[in-house]
Amino acid sequence: MAQRFALSTSFSDVSRQLDRLAERDLGVEITLYDTEWLLNLDKTTGVRKLGDELAQRGVEVSVHAPIFDLNPGSLDPVIRKHTRLCWERAINVAGALGARHANFHTGYLPLLPESTLPGWMALSLAVWERLVGLAADAGIMLLFENMFEPTPRVLLDIRDQLDARHVGFTLDVAHVHIFGTASLDTWWQELGTDIREVHLHDTDTFSDDHLLLGDGAIDWKSVFENLFRYAPDAMKVIEMPIEAGLQSLARIRAGGYSDIQLELL
């Protein structure tokens, strides 16, 4: 079973970090948050070159699609179209990079009335169906990450209306603590083996500051026990700047958390 970890960094920074990633046998989640760059990218030749280099160095790749001000279920068709175009480009770049996963936030907004959810869901599905088809053609698993969703229900409801062969989940442990109403145990149990990626960063349970592991309130021993119980082969992304990520990785190893899997066998 896989025990490899990954760090998170932007596309523009990957080449600079390549040696560190390869030397430490780490994967990388590449954030594609620059929508202006995505929408103006004419050719993927340079992207494919980087993807080939990552593959040659044995660096496993995931991408994180844009997240800011995007909403696939917006009542405004201009926003829906912009969202779809940004995400389509993200999948194209992910394919050129040889990514294993493409990670997306759903755009769910908990401050809206519950009565708006069915309409938002229906509009979203038209976008997701298109994206899942593109991801499948590229050999990529499309992952839904929890952000503001209070329970796993929204993610499961979207997945259940799509081709589940090409859809999985990213469990962000800190987001559950900050925004969730269901327990973390419930999230592990309900998403289960469909968890293909886990995002690791700490929180004081109020702010989404992506703290070093151990600097917040999360019980990391329990997290790793559940990670290896429910999703042992999930990509484990330490989601924070590279230097902080390496410090967190050192804490994981010093605490023996990466060996918990062996204790459960």
pLDDT interval class at 265 (50, 70, 90): very low
How much is the pLDDT for 1?
Answer: 40
Structure tokens at 107: 């755009």
3-state secondary structure of 259: helix
What pLDDT is attached to residue 141?
Answer: 98
Percentage above 90 pLDDT, the chain: 95
Residue labelled with tokens 């899942």: 132
Sign of the alpha-carbon dihedral angle for 158, 187, 230, 256: positive
Q: What is the DSSP letter of 150?
A: S
Q: What is the pLDDT of residue 4?
A: 85
pLDDT tens for 160-215 read 999 999 999 999 999 999 999 999 999 999 999 999 999 999 999 999 999 999 99
Task: Name the percent of the chain lying above pLDDT 70.
Answer: 97
Structural domains present in the chain: 5-264 (3.20.20.150)
Average pLDDT over residues 18-40: 97
Q: Is the pLDDT of residue 137 over 90?
A: yes
What's the mean pLDDT in 19-33?
Answer: 97
Region of 30 (left: φ > 0; alpha: ψ -120 to 50; beta: rest) is beta
Across the chain, mean pLDDT equals 95
Pairwise CA distance, residues 188 & 63, whole Å: 22
Binned at pLDDT 50, 70 and 90, residue 2 comes out as very low
